[in-house]
Structure 1
Amino acid sequence: MKRDVTITNPVLQGVFPDPSWMWHNNEAWLVTSSFGQVPGLPIHTSRDLSHWQRRCSAIDEEMARRLFLKYIRTDNHGIFAPTIREFGDAIIIVSTVMEVMVDKALADGADPDEINRLRAANGNFALVSRDDGLTWEGPHWIKGAVGNDPDFFIDADGTTWWTASRPSSSPRWPFQSDIWMRKLDTERWRLEGPERIIWHGAVEGATWAESPHIFLKDGTYYLLAAEAGTERRHAQSVARSDSLNACYYENNSRNPILTHRTLGEGFPVQNVGHSDMLRDDNGDWWGVCLGSRVVEGYSFMGREPFVFPIVWEDGWPVFTPGDALLRRRIIRGQENTRHGYQLGDIASQEGKNETDRDRHIEQINPNDYLMLPTQPQWIWTRVDDFDYEVLFNPTLMHEARIQQNRDVFASITTDSDSSSVVACISNKGTVQEIGRTALHHDEWYSVRLVGRSVRFAQVPAPNCIPNTEHPLLVGKGAAAVESVAAGGWPVINGGLDIPDSSFAYADAAFLSTESAGGYIGCLAGVR
């Protein structure tokens, strides 16, 4: 008998973009992009798709050094769009490190031979674990690879294949991309044999066909590919072929099979696409994709992973059957349902569920700290709620921030000359002071992102007083819910007109991905 569990989306909160997953040893293994963050390529596992735990990270400080993450050009570069798969008895992750400043790395003493291998692979690499994620070999630079968003596929005959995306060399329309495929020699980690271009997108004029994944089911090969870029027009499509290395993959006439672009700018989940599939031990198929939760058109938490059911009809996968949109909650394991899931009519409960939480302060476990090689003096964590603050004490810290990238942030620090606590915002490198208050060394202060406002305030001392080695404390609350949209998604109040005791506040739109640009979301940190 299947046990009922409720999957609540997104299954991971905060900056966990570009999800890929597989079913391995009776569990789902999910990996996400990490850009310049260390630990990087975080892997979470779940037996029921509802309760997730961080299993490991494929990139530690030593692997980050080998991948030259210290030398990425901006915060929006680094480790892009991984794929995770079984590789015999091992696990393999393939990915791309983007925009390494190789001249600077060489000037700092990097091994020229290793730089040449990176160049020959155009940043494409594989990491292999033979002990279920405890240790990782690599990077194995993939000689001859171009583009990004690689996929790793093992055919029924044991041959291994590399599929990836790149800009078309002879585009027939702006931003046309090629999905291409070549055989991969996993002994020498290089591509061999002829290249096949198998896809440009579901429709004529489709832009940015990317994030391909190949599957074999019942003798038919399926290609998943996203298109239109990670923004409001993002969508997921599927094609199929009787031959893996074919010049033509049949387009599904129902494409795109997943998108929120038809729901309008006001819908609270946007940018949906970049999907992967797995089949669990019950024989049920499930998908994961990225999406962005927004407040009045702005997203602050970046791209997050959302889970949805899949059924098969007429030889094609049907994503999110029944209503064609992502659901806030899905009941998995209903014995009396046909496909192992039940959507249910639970929208009316969502508003209460979102506002019924008490505000609380928590100390981030040092094992969960994120480091950015480009900002080595800081420790970070992901902003993962609509009401989120980072705490600041002048005795323990020099500065606290919520940032989208190193040039876009809201910070609180001290001015010892005037004995003040100072609130600043930086919008694309232009720093502006927006308020200050009297400095008291035994008091606590915070930078708080709530709705689409950022607020600076003196706050009560937390019950858990950190020492100087572990100073990252954050507060979480429940932002005001205006209404509930289709799928059970709360519509969050922007909060610009809600009075409080802040000594400074601002419209936080500048902290959003829409304003700042790029691919990441907000982090909270101290130094």
Structure 2
Amino acid sequence: MLKLFCALVLGLVSLELKCQEIPDSINNPILPGFNPDPSICRVNDDYYLVTSSFTWYPGLPIYHSKDLVNWEIIGHAINRPDMIDMNNLNDNDGIWAPTIRYHDGLFYLITTANKSGGNFYVTASDPKGPWSDPVWLKNAIGIDPSLFWDEDGKCYYTGNSWDFKKSWPGQCAVWIQELDLSQKKLVGERKILSYGHANNATFAEGPHIYKIDDEYLLLMAEGGSSYHHAVTVHHSKSLWGPYIADKTNPVLTHRHLGTKCSLQSLGHADLVQTQNGEWYSVFLGKRMLDGYNPLARETFMCRVEFENNTPIFNPGKGMVLSTMERPDLPWTSVNSDPNRDDFNTTNLKPMWYFVRVPQKNFHTIENGKLVLSLQPEVVDSLVNSAIIIRKAKHHKFKAITRLNFQAKKDNEQAGLIFYRTANSYYSLLKDRFGITLVKKHLGKKEIVSSVPYVSKEVYLSVRVDGLDVKFSFGETLDNMTDIGGLQSAKVVSDNKFNKFNGTGVGMYVTSNGQRSKNNALYDWFEYSNIE
């Protein structure tokens, strides 16, 4: 009896401690790092969210959550090399602004392959996959497609267009047309629904239609994806309009807070209603550091309440905060990305990405090591090179790896890379002569420092503290040597080359235009938040 009583007490204590671990508030962003243009849907008590991926592959990451807080990648919709051609694409092109929807037992994911085929959709009965081959909609102009099923059972496509005579600079149109899913093409009349909420509204895009309380709600982004980004809503009694701009517009923005605001560019939103009847919105935003955003666009969330059919974002506050009250949903923990990858699985974990679609296999996992075969392609080119990266998610982080590599020729290099685009990155590479730190900023490439090093094994590290970046190397972790002095994360922040995609850190090898049979072995790779 005493043992039973003690076990019961311990169980109650354990349960109480477990309950205490569930927070009352959560942090924004809900998906830190490279996660722009979010779209969300709910199926029963499961939530699914997708974001843009541009030229990163596999593309279109699909996240799952039970509580809108804890998210886990369950797959990628673009995960077969023949699904899309990304060769010669700029880093800012590729997969733009997806929408995920569920209808009659099937998931639909529709998106734009900018400069690589146009608009297409894929389907799956299970969001984990497999997803169908792309269905290309050849006559679907513009970008940012979305799908809506009306009560008549028909599917309708909304998108944007700029191909018309404009009445003011930056004017874009949001249009609608029926999508015949049996014929897999747009049919019938195409109609423009809105040019935005004002007679100087710019870059109307990212439209979604909802039917709420017998009224159609058109939600869209305006102002471009930078400082003037905003969300507006428009109302109609008919699907085909006319749509009247809400007097509250814009319903979400931070542009009125000025350029010194630490959270900017809010926009490109989607709405979801919980099983309890509450509404939330997900949208993109930029966390700024002294006017720079090294983490690029991330996914944020806030509560929405409807007042006379007007969605009020973060009611009573009017702005998006870094913390918010947790949604009233059962707390459900998930497996988050591990800080350290010991390469003890058969395949790469879902957190790892290539840049553009690999045209050949250059990696294997053997005996607990990631083996990368040196390839002639370089990271500066617009084709797939031997680079594997994961998303940088924090303003303060450290990434370190242990490399086993001996260059046999002058052109052979292997090491670590801190990457945004082919025109903006740092690489810390081991070559035949030693360790070399390279910076490429605004398209200009330079060797920052080169230091002799002879050992076959080396630890390579990058430490980011806000906008300050330091690189180091060493034969042991206790004896690391700084190289290149203080560098800057401004290199990977937005500029004329770095516009829409995000920042990654990982591994890179190359034989610089020549064929090579050499390999580089990575024992492990560790990414840690040091905030």
Matched, 1:518 2:496: no
For the pair shown, the structure with the greater C-alpha radius of gyration is: 2
The residue type equivalent to 2:78 in the other structure is: I
Contact kept? 2:414, 2:431, Cα under 8 Å: no
**What is the match of residue 103 of structure 1?**
none
Contact 2:55 2:89 in 1 (8 A): no
Q: Which runs of 5+ in 2 are unaligned?
A: 1-21, 331-337, 357-382, 406-412, 509-531
Secondary structure of the structure 2 residue equivalent to 1:148 = coil
Give 1:325 deviation, angstroms: 1.1
C-alpha contact (below 8 Å) 2:178/2:187 kept by paired residues? yes
Q: Which residue of 2 aligns with 1:495?
A: none
1:99 aligns with 2:115: yes
Report SS of the residue matched to 2:256: coil
- For residues 219-238 of structure 1, the aligned pairs below 5 Å read 219-238=214-233
The answer (yes or no) to whether the contact 1:422–1:435 under 8 Å persists in 2 is yes
Q: 2:460 aligns with which of 432, 438, 445?
A: 445
* RMSD (Å), alpha carbons: 2.3
Aligned length: 440
TM-score (norm 1): 0.79
Q: Residue 275 of structure 1 corresponds to which residue in structure 2?
A: 269
Give the direction of change, closer, same or farther, for the CA distance of 1:220–1:447 in structure 2 (3 Å limit): same
- For residue 198 of structure 1, what is the amino acid of its counterpart? L
Name 1:388's counterpart in structure 2: 397
Classify the secondary structure of the residue corresponding to 1:278. strand
Unaligned runs of 5+ in 1: 101-117, 341-359, 464-499
* CA distance, structure 2, for counterparts of residue 501 and residue 416 of structure 1: 19
One of 427, 431, 446 as aligned partner of 1:432:
446
Question: Alignment partner for residue 376 of structure 1, among 376, 385, 390?
Answer: 385
Residue deviations 1:60-90, cap 9 Å, x none? 0x2x422223x35211111110000012111
- Whole-angstrom CA distance in 1 between matches of 2:279 and 2:26: 15
Amino acid in the other structure paired with 2:85: F
**Which residue of the partner structure matches residue 87 of structure 1?**
103
Q: What does residue 104 of structure 1 align with? A: none
Task: Describe how 1:151-190 pairs up with structure 2 within 5 A.
Answer: 151-190=146-185
AA paired with 1:376? Answer: S
Q: Give, as a single letter, the amino acid of the residue that structure 1 aligns with 2:275.
A: D
The 3 A distance-change label for structure 1 pair 36 and 201 is same
Q: CA deviation at 1:132?
A: 3.5
CA contact (8 A) 1:22 1:84 kept: yes
Provide the secondary structure at the position in 2 that maps to 1:7. strand
- Which residue among 78, 94, 103 is the counterpart of 2:94? 78
State the Cα distance separating 1:361 from its structure 2 match. 6.2
Equivalent residue for 2:429? 413
- 1:292-326 Cα offsets, whole Å, 9 max, x none, are 11211111112111010000101211111111111
State the Cα distance separating 1:243 from its structure 2 match: 0.2
Moved more, 177-186 or 124-133: 124-133
Residues 241-271 of structure 1: per-residue CA shift (max 9 Å, x gap)? 000012x211111100000111222222111
Once residues 29 and 292 of structure 1 are traced to their aligned partners in structure 2, the CA distance between those partners, rounded to angstroms, is 22
Where do residues 309-348 of structure 1 align in structure 2 (5 Å cutoff)? 309-333=303-327
Residue identity matched to 2:492: L
2:199 is matched with 204
CA contact (8 A) 1:286 1:307 kept: yes
Give me the whole-angstrom Cα distance separating, in 2, the residues matched to 1:516 and 1:19: 23
Q: Residue 446 of structure 2: SS of its match in structure 1?
A: strand
User: Contact 2:420–2:498 (CA<8 Å) still a contact in 1?
Assistant: no
Going from structure 1 to structure 2, the CA distance change for 1:502 and 1:387 (only over 3 Å counts) comes to: farther
Is 1:455–2:470 an aligned residue pair?
A: yes
* Bigger Cα displacement from structure 2, 374-383 vs 39-48: 374-383
For the residue of structure 1 that corresponds to 2:82, the secondary structure is helix
1:277-316 equivalent positions in 2, closer than 5 A: 277-316=271-310
TM-fit CA distance, 1:450: 2.3
Tell me, what secondary structure is at the counterpart of 1:65? helix
1:49 match: 68
- 1:17/1:305 contact within 8 Å kept: yes
Query: Aligned residue for 1:27?
Result: 46
Deviation, 1:278, is 0.5
Q: For the Cα contact (< 8 Å) 2:305–2:315, is it kept in 1?
A: yes
Corresponding residue for residue 84 of structure 2: 67
Q: CA deviation at 1:515?
A: 5.5
Q: Is the 8 A contact 1:150 1:212 kept in 2?
A: yes
Tell me which residue corresponds to 2:490. Answer: 509
Q: Deviations over 1:93-144 (max 9, x none)?
A: 00010112xxxxxxxxxxxxxxxxx5xxxx1111000133321112011242
Residue identity in the other structure for 2:69: S
Judge conservation of contact 1:299–1:514 (CA < 8 Å) in 2. Answer: no
Q: Does the 8 A contact of 2:424 with 2:443 survive in 1?
A: yes
CA distance in 2, matches of 1:131, 1:362: 29
- 3-state SS of 2:92 partner: coil
Assess, with a 3 A threshold, how the Cα gap between structure 1 residues 332 and 325 changes in structure 2: closer, same or farther: same
Give the 3 Å change call, closer, same or farther, for CA 99–408 of structure 1 in structure 2.
Answer: same
Are the counterparts in 2 of residues 274 and 290 from structure 1 also a CA contact under 8 Å?
yes
Cα distance in 1, alignment partners of residues 37 and 340 from structure 2: 28
**More displaced stretch, 435-444 vs 252-261:** 435-444
Does the residue aligned with 1:42 lie in a helix, a strand or coil?
strand
Q: SS state of the match for residue 428, structure 2?
A: strand
CA distance in 2, matches of 1:362, 1:416: 28
- Which amino acid is 1:448 matched to? R
8 Å Cα contact 2:437/2:483 also seen in 1:
no
Task: Work out whether 1:139 is the aligned partner of 2:134.
Answer: yes
CA contact (8 A) 1:72 1:78 kept: no
Partner of 2:186: 191
Aligned counterparts of 1:521 and 1:199: Cα–Cα separation in 2 = 30
Distance 2:94 2:111 in 1: 10
**Contact 1:427–1:510 under 8 Å retained in 2:** yes
User: Between the two proteins, what is the percent identity of the paired residues?
Assistant: 29
Question: Quick one: distance in 2 between partners of 1:193 and 1:503?
Answer: 61
**Cα 1:462/1:27, change in 2 over 3 Å:** farther
Distance verdict in 2 for CA 1:322–1:502, change over 3 Å: farther
1:483 corresponds to which residue? Answer: none
8 Å CA contact 1:510–1:516 kept in 2: the answer is no
Task: Give the Cα–Cα distance (whole angstroms) in 1 for the partners of residues 182 and 71 of structure 2.
Answer: 34
Q: Give, in whole Å, the separation in 2 of the partners of 1:254 and 1:231.
A: 21
Give the whole-Å Cα distance in 1 for the aligned partners of 2:395 and 2:327: 30
The alpha carbon displacement at 1:168 in A equals 4.5
